[in-house]
Amino acid sequence: MQLVVDGKKHDVDVEEDMPLLWVLRDELNIKGVKYGCGIAACGACTVHINGEAVRSCQTFVSDVDGPVTTINGLGTPDALHAVQEAWVETQVAQCGYCQSGQVMQAASLLAENPTPTDDEIDEAMSGNLCRCGTYPRIRAAVKLAVTKTQGV
Amino acid sequence: MSKVGKIARRTFLIGSAAVVGGVAFGVYKVKTPYANPLEEDLAAGAATFNPWVVIDGDTITLIGPHGDKGQGVAHSQAALIAEELDLEFGQFEVSFGKPDKAYWNTAMASEGVPFMSTNQGFAAESMRSVMGGVMKLMGMQGTGGSTAIPDSFVKLREAGAVARETLKAAAAQKSGINTTALKTEAGHVILPDGTKLSYQELAPIAAGLDPVTDVKLRDPSQWRLIGKPMQRLDMLAKSTGTQAYGIDIETEGAVHAAVKVNPRQGGVLNSYDATTAKSMRGVQKVVEVTNGVAVIADNTWRAFQAVDAIDFDWGEAPYPAEQDGHWAALEASFNDDQLDSKWRDDGDVDAALATGKAITTEYRAPYVAHAPLEPLNATVLVEDGGVTVWTGHQLPRMLQQMVAAITGHDQDQIDFQNQYMGGSFGHRLEFEHVRQATEIANQMRGTPVKLTYSREEDFAHDFPRHPGIARAAGTVKNGQVEALDLQVTMPSVIGSQMGRANISVPGPDSQISAGSWNNPYGIANFRMRAYRAPELAPVSSWRSVGASANGFFFDCALDELIHAAGADPMQERIRLMDHDVSRKVLEAVAEMSSWGGQLAPNSGRGVAYVESFGVPTAEVVEVTNTPDGIRIDKVWVAADVGTVVDPVNFENLVQGGVVFGLGHAINCEITYADGMAEQSNFDSFEGMRLNQCPEIFVKGLENGNRIRGIGEPPVPPAAPALANAIFAATGQRIREMPFSKHISFA
């Protein structure tokens, strides 16, 4: 099977029903993508396929029908995505384990809806669990990212 | 100080921080100090110090031995050293160091004594001192009990100051200028003519000097970092997926393991059939561990799949199989034989109850799981000459001892590499996952074994928060609360937790009553009796421990009496409060929330106050009763920690603690059926999600005369403030967590 992840092509020899999450983490060693629940209940494994946020723990690798972007490809410490910039400036993280998924979910939201309302932010981000309870800062960071991307 | 060559031989003790050609500083000299792990080759009679600062030719490394579960203590520890050492962020690396007795926690013992934290009298302080001595003798290095900052606040600044003054002495030797004419700034000693000598270039000279230990800590007015908003060191990595956690450890040649251990915790494995599992792709081995079986595969998912394909015959649970049996055991524990402590008996409660019409109520708190988002994991390599363990853990030295007992090595042959933790909430005080990984690796010596729990295995073996029941009776008179008689029963969490480590802790378990007995109210007649329920399901410290349930019991019972008296919930708490710092906390939260102001229709407010871990904390919750259920709109929090080290991190931790307290109060419980936890993932144990999160306003007060940690104290008042708010909005009293059993939430 061939996958394009963060702009790089990979040939993988795995079972068709292996979740994309584990192909990324254990076969391709892309560790920014996190395992939290395995049942799409926490969002820690969120990646983009064709630009859309999906839970990689519930996506069979054989169902991947386009390029995959992970947190490690969205931006890097030297070249941050606007959402990551906002996350750093707002100091969202505590343990940080969920934040890969939070950032990917937020980036997908803003790509689809550059100026979400408060309710739209809540709706889009509520599938991503944060056990540390950083939700007030997640909301603030999404709003900061909006201003960064809108240049206002 | 050590000679360079001697330090070089100790490099393995400080992990990544090479000290070739460098110098290691320590401080916190005590009368009979532990040997400095960096300098154990020193000649007899030489001074020994604890290791916190290491400078080599290129790198300055600050060692903070407290583990980082998300509370940001890796940053805070470094900031405390850098404050006195005059380092800027970016000029140093941080390390958790190696387990060592020298890193004994000076603050951890003080919670277990029968003196209120607000009591700083002679007897209370003496007992704390004795307990501290016990911790020191045990070499008890640990992170927990919101102690990382109290433990570090003085000694890490002293470490920085000693290093600074010794570097100045080195600069004086090099330049011939008296130290009094030298200054330090941003990693350099500055000579009067402006010449800058870097700490790194001075290190080889400093290594030959006796450290300057007669140092005076700077006045708070001179602080550059403490008390000011800081940018946490880990934010960039945690926003870019580049922060490595234990679960991300990659070592050459590692294999992946998954386990299934009897979900009836503590029950045995009768038999199993792994025929199918062994034939599955990628499976290399099936081995037994205590009470369970592990599959070794070439990929985590394949190991999960294969272990799921094993047929098991499990033994019975060593506790009641059904949840009703757990509650029945608690209900039967309110008797004199099981009285564990009676640490408050003010006034004459019996007389007061006999004269007035007693109001009686009962409250319950269930088992709840820690469920940190990073599932438990451990990577272990066992070799004949030593063992390496990579995982995030709160008790490094106990971990070493446990591993050594399995593999037969000496404790100092266990190389423990502590990792950033994807949460803990207390679960990473436990050892089972490390034990299992070690048992597997010991059967595969020479091969690193990475054990990852599936979320389901993590829930099945969570060692949840102990459940509790409280019975309250009280009276009111002339519009005031006159008497409160509170009886609480819980299994002993300390007994369960320490019992698994084969440590017997004598005396009462402070955590059965913590959060109830110690609230510094001056209720005329107040009695608090704590009963030790029998050991049921194995339980463990859950963020804020006893206070997580007791805060709910005590404060709701008080709130019911206040309403019965017809008094204002805020004003009556303030009237009853017998502790100035706490009264100011209540007054602050009243002012922040404009308590007493007009509310929207169907809205209500509740206030709660709980002192835990020495931190008086008051919270006001505002809710609205909507057609979709209770909506939590706003929360105001005031807490007094003496000194706020970083207001940004403080606010984040308080908000998180409120979310943690509210989320579990509304919808989380672990229940047992057929001896197993019925909840196995976040679909049945949800906690709070972003759409339910209220606005949370935070104020840190600094009236207390002692610095405290803020990791746990925001949790206990959240549930009672919410229950009291729901009563104010609806007239319905909720006396059992999770509240969703009794009312819907929007």
CB contact under 8 A, B236 and A71: no
Q: Residues A90, A63: one domain?
A: no
Task: Count chain A–chain B contacts defined by CB atoms under 8 A.
Answer: 186
Q: Residues A62, A92: one domain?
A: no
**Is domain B4-105+141-239 given the CATH code 3.30.365.10 in the classification?**
yes
CATH number at residue A95: 1.10.150.120
Closest A-chain CA to B455: A37
Mean pLDDT of chain A: 97
Left, alpha or beta for A53 (phi > 0: left; psi -120 to 50: alpha)? beta
Contact partners, residue B429, CB within 8 Å, separation at least 6: B142, B144, B394, B395, B497, B540, B541
Cα–Cα distance for residue pair A151/A149, rounded to 1 Å: 5
Per-residue pLDDT reduced to its tens digit, B507-537: 899 999 999 999 999 999 999 999 999 999 9
Closest B-chain CA to A34: B374
Q: Residues A50, A91: one domain?
A: no
Q: Residues A13, A53: one domain?
A: yes
pLDDT of B38: 47
Left, alpha or beta for B502 (phi > 0: left; psi -120 to 50: alpha)? left
What mean pLDDT comes out for the span B411-440? 96
pLDDT of B284 higher than 50: yes
Q: Are strands B695-701 and B629-640 parallel, antiparallel or unpaired?
A: parallel
pLDDT of B593 higher than 70: yes
Confidence of residue B11 (pLDDT cuts 50, 70, 90): very low
pLDDT of B43: 30
Cα–Cα distance for residue pair B660/B715, rounded to 1 Å: 7
Cβ-contact B34, B42 below 8 angstroms:
no
pLDDT of B363 higher than 80: yes
pLDDT of B20: 36
Q: Residues A95, A130: one domain?
A: yes
Cα–Cα distance for residue pair B734/B553, rounded to 1 Å: 11
Reduced to 3 states (helix: H, G, I; strand: E, B; else coil), residue A110 is helix
What mean pLDDT comes out for the span A41-68? 97
Confidence of residue B22 (pLDDT cuts 50, 70, 90): very low
Q: Which CATH class is domain B323-368+464-741?
A: alpha beta
Cα–Cα distance for residue pair B223/B221, rounded to 1 Å: 6
Min Cα–Cα distance to chain A from B653, Å: 8
Give yes or no for B250 touching A (CB within 8 A).
Answer: yes
What mean pLDDT comes out for the span B265-274? 98
Task: For residue B95, give both structure tokens.
Answer: 């390390």
Mean pLDDT of chain B: 90
Q: Residues A36, A89: one domain?
A: no
**Could you say which residues from 481 to 520 on chain B have a Cβ atom under 8 Å away from some Cβ of chain A?**
none
What percent of chain B shows pLDDT beyond 90? 79
Q: Which of B472, B518, B542, B501 is nearest to B341 (CA)?
A: B518
Single-letter code of the amino acid located at B35: A
**Could you say which residues from 640 to 679 on chain B have a Cβ atom under 8 Å away from some Cβ of chain A?**
648-649, 652-653, 655-660, 663
Per-residue pLDDT reduced to its tens digit, B132-175: 555 554 567 788 788 889 889 998 999 899 889 999 999 999 99
Number of separate domains in chain A: 2
- Which CATH topology does B246-317+376-452 take? Aldehyde Oxidoreductase; domain 4 (3.30.365)
Q: Which residue has the tokens 């502590």?
A: B418
> Where a domain ends, among A32, A48, A74?
A74
Q: Residues A117, A66: one domain?
A: no
Q: Which of B263, B270, B458, B476 is nearest to B356 (CA)?
A: B476
CB contact under 8 A, B658 and A133: yes
Closest B-chain CA to A95: B70
Nearest CB among B238, B250, B659 relative to A135 is that of: B659
Q: Which residue has the tokens 């993508």?
A: A33
Min Cα–Cα distance to chain A from B682, Å: 6
Min Cα–Cα distance to chain B from A56, Å: 13
- pTM recorded for the entire structure: 0.93
Residues constituting chain B: 746
What mean pLDDT comes out for the span B628-650? 98
Q: Are strands B386-391 and B414-418 parallel, antiparallel or unpaired?
A: parallel
What mean pLDDT comes out for the span B555-562? 98
pLDDT of B122: 59
Nearest CB among A33, A129, A135 relative to B373 is that of: A129
Task: For residue A149, give both structure tokens.
Answer: 């991307």
CATH number at residue A8: 3.10.20.30
Cβ-contact B68, B420 below 8 angstroms:
yes
Lowest mean pLDDT among A94-103, B51-60, B161-170, B737-746: B51-60
Q: Residues A65, A99: one domain?
A: no
- Cα B468-B473-B478 angle, rounded to 5 deg: 140
Cβ-contact B602, B570 below 8 angstroms:
no
Query: From start to end of B211-327, where are the E strands?
Result: 255-261, 269-273, 283-289, 292-297, 311-314
Q: Provide, for chain B, the percentages of residues in helix, strand and coil under a 3-state DSSP scheme, each rounded to the nearest 5.
A: 35, 25, 40
Domain residue spans in chain B? 4-105+141-239, 246-317+376-452, 323-368+464-741
Q: Which of B249, B259, B252, B261 is nearest to B297 (CA)?
A: B259
Cβ-contact B339, B529 below 8 angstroms:
yes
Q: Are strands B615-626 and B377-383 parallel, antiparallel or unpaired?
A: unpaired
Give chain A positions within 8 Å (CB) of B649: 91
Lowest mean pLDDT among B61-75, B274-288, B314-328: B61-75
Give chain B positions within 8 Å (CB) of A99: 238-239
What mean pLDDT comes out for the span A34-47? 98
What mean pLDDT comes out for the span B176-182? 97
What mean pLDDT comes out for the span B238-251? 97
Task: For residue B573, give both structure tokens.
Answer: 């708490």
Q: Residues A88, A56: one domain?
A: no
pLDDT of B19 higher than 80: no
Closest A-chain CA to B72: A94
Q: Residues A101, A129: one domain?
A: yes
Q: Which residue has the tokens 């066992």?
A: B382
CB contact under 8 A, B681 and A96: no
Cα–Cα distance for residue pair B595/B247, rounded to 1 Å: 46
Sign of the torsion angle spanned by Cα atoms B144, B149, B155, B157: positive
**Could you say which residues from 367 to 406 on chain B have a Cβ atom under 8 Å away from some Cβ of chain A?**
371-375
Q: Which residue has the tokens 């407290």?
A: B66
Q: What is the DSSP string of B257-274?
A: EEEEE-SSTT--EEEEE-
A119, A132, A142, A148, best to mutate vs chain B, most B CBs in 10 Å: A132
Other C-beta atoms closer than 10 Å to the C-beta of B479 total 11
**Could you say which residues from 677 to 716 on chain B have a Cβ atom under 8 Å away from some Cβ of chain A?**
681-683, 686-691, 693, 695-696
B4-105+141-239 and B323-368+464-741 share one fold? yes
Phi, psi for residue B382 in degrees, rounded to 5:
-105, 125
CA distances B588 to A26, B593, B640, B644, B662, Å, are 51, 9, 10, 16, 21
Q: What is the DSSP string of B614-629?
A: TEEEEEEEEEEEETTE
Give chain A positions within 8 Å (CB) of B248: 31
| Cα–chain center distance at B162 | 29
Min Cα–Cα distance to chain B from A144, Å: 14
Reduced to 3 states (helix: H, G, I; strand: E, B; else coil), residue B210 is coil
Contact partners, residue B223, CB within 8 Å, separation at least 6: B83
CB contact under 8 A, B239 and A122: no
- Give the residue, B544 or B45, on which the prediction is more confident: B544
Give yes or no for B249 touching A (CB within 8 A).
Answer: no
Give chain A positions within 8 Å (CB) of B239: 80, 84, 87-88, 92-93, 96, 99, 103
Task: For residue A108, give both structure tokens.
Answer: 């997908």
pLDDT of B7: 31
Nearest CB among B244, B247, B687 relative to A129 is that of: B687
Q: Residues A68, A124: one domain?
A: no
**Could you say which residues from 30 to 69 on chain B have a Cβ atom under 8 Å away from some Cβ of chain A?**
69
Range of the domain at A98: 82-150
Cβ-contact B637, B589 below 8 angstroms:
yes
Contact partners, residue B445, CB within 8 Å, separation at least 6: B382, B383, B384
CB contact under 8 A, A39 and B239: no
Q: Torsion angle of alpha carbons B280, B282, B286, B287, nearest 10°?
A: -160
Cβ-contact B339, B710 below 8 angstroms:
no
Lowest mean pLDDT among A121-130, B38-47, B259-268, B737-746: B38-47
Cα–Cα distance for residue pair B682/B534, rounded to 1 Å: 29
Give chain A positions within 8 Å (CB) of B240: 32, 71-72, 75-77, 80, 84
Cα–Cα distance for residue pair B121/B138, rounded to 1 Å: 26
Nearest CB among B242, B247, B686 relative to A35 is that of: B247
pLDDT of B2: 33
What mean pLDDT comes out for the span B275-300? 98
Phi, psi for residue B464 in degrees, rounded to 5:
-70, 175
Give yes or no for B425 touching A (CB within 8 A).
Answer: yes
pLDDT of B98: 79
CB contact under 8 A, B300 and A126: no
Lowest mean pLDDT among A28-32, A72-76, B97-101, B405-409: B97-101
Q: Torsion angle of alpha carbons B352, B356, B357, B361, nearest 10°?
A: -20
Confidence of residue B57 (pLDDT cuts 50, 70, 90): low
Task: For residue B739, give both structure tokens.
Answer: 């509240």
- Give the residue, A49 or B53, on which the prediction is more confident: A49
Cα–Cα distance for residue pair B36/B42, rounded to 1 Å: 9
